[in-house]
Amino acid sequence: DTPILQPLLVTFLANACLTARGAAVGQSSVRLVLSVHTSDGREVTVRQAARGPDALARMSVFAGAVVSFLANSPFPHPAVSAVDLTMVREEQPTGADIVEAIPERTVVFPGEELAVDVRLEPYERPVEHRRVVIGVPASAAPGPLDLLVADGASWSGYRLRAEGVAPADYAGQLDQVRRLESSATLVTALEARERGTAMPGVSQPGLPPSWSATLAAGLGTRALTQLATAVLATRRTEEPFPLEGLVRVPLTVRPRQEVP
């Protein structure tokens, strides 16, 4: 049981494996699958991808950071008993930037589907397009609505910050790791400006003001974090290469006119 040494070993060995049969510097792209096993039989698996001149270092440090987060938990926790790491490296920055997202319309109605044209700009290749269809929930309230298109890593980082959830125990830490998404995932989401609250271990977006006030009265305002947005819908598609970028497009939800 060496919780301090384990992350360093994982980082060192990951970097050594990536450079054993290729250049130690230069443009690269790396895809990674990391599984961490604990002595009580639990397992958490996370996928990640990166490209660029620092891709090798970023993926090595990412693997070590995940192990450190779990092996050095401030909560009572089991030891990390095993780490499985699979990596695929290409000696070129294979991937694409998310440069634009064009919805077929910017005024939407509850319960309908919205098609989005996502423009990707690959490395040294022609522009590619992805057509994504996402449903507007029937419960969507009239008013502003944001369309977000992002790579999975940017999306998960954004939502973890926006929801402000602090783990309350080791199980909460495992859940946080599971929420980390790969940058090879294309995420399309609809986000409403609905307030909510977060407390240690749980996030409750889109709460009615009366319920938020009840929680504040019972738990105290210092125990709660106010949330400004809530995710209404998401669509995910896997890409064969890392993506980079986050695009936000403002939409408007209008109520359907009832036909007499």
Looking at the chain, how many residues does it have? Answer: 260
Domain ends where: 61, 90, 119? 90
Region for residue 185 given its phi and psi (left: phi exceeds 0; alpha: psi -120 to 50; beta: otherwise): beta
CA distance 24 to 36: 26
pLDDT at 259: 58
- Whether residues 102 and 182 share a domain: the answer is yes
Q: Is residue 26 part of a domain?
A: yes
pLDDT at 211: 44
Mean pLDDT per segment of 10 residues, for the chain of length 260 residues?
A: 87 94 84 97 97 94 97 95 95 94 97 97 93 96 96 94 84 94 97 68 53 48 62 95 96 81
Domain ends where: 72, 90, 108? 90
- Whether residues 113 and 79 share a domain: the answer is no
| Host domain of residue 118 | 96-194+229-253
Q: Is residue 202 part of a domain?
A: no
- Whether residues 172 and 48 share a domain: the answer is no
pLDDT at 193: 84
CB 230 within 8 A of CB 191: yes
pLDDT at 130: 97
Region for residue 88 given its phi and psi (left: phi exceeds 0; alpha: psi -120 to 50; beta: otherwise): beta
Q: Is residue 60 part of a domain?
A: yes
Structure tokens at 19: 């450079």
Name the burial class of residue 220, with classes exposed (0-12), middle (13-18) and buried (19+) by CB atoms within 10 angstroms of its CB: exposed
pLDDT at 194: 73
Give the global pTM.
0.85
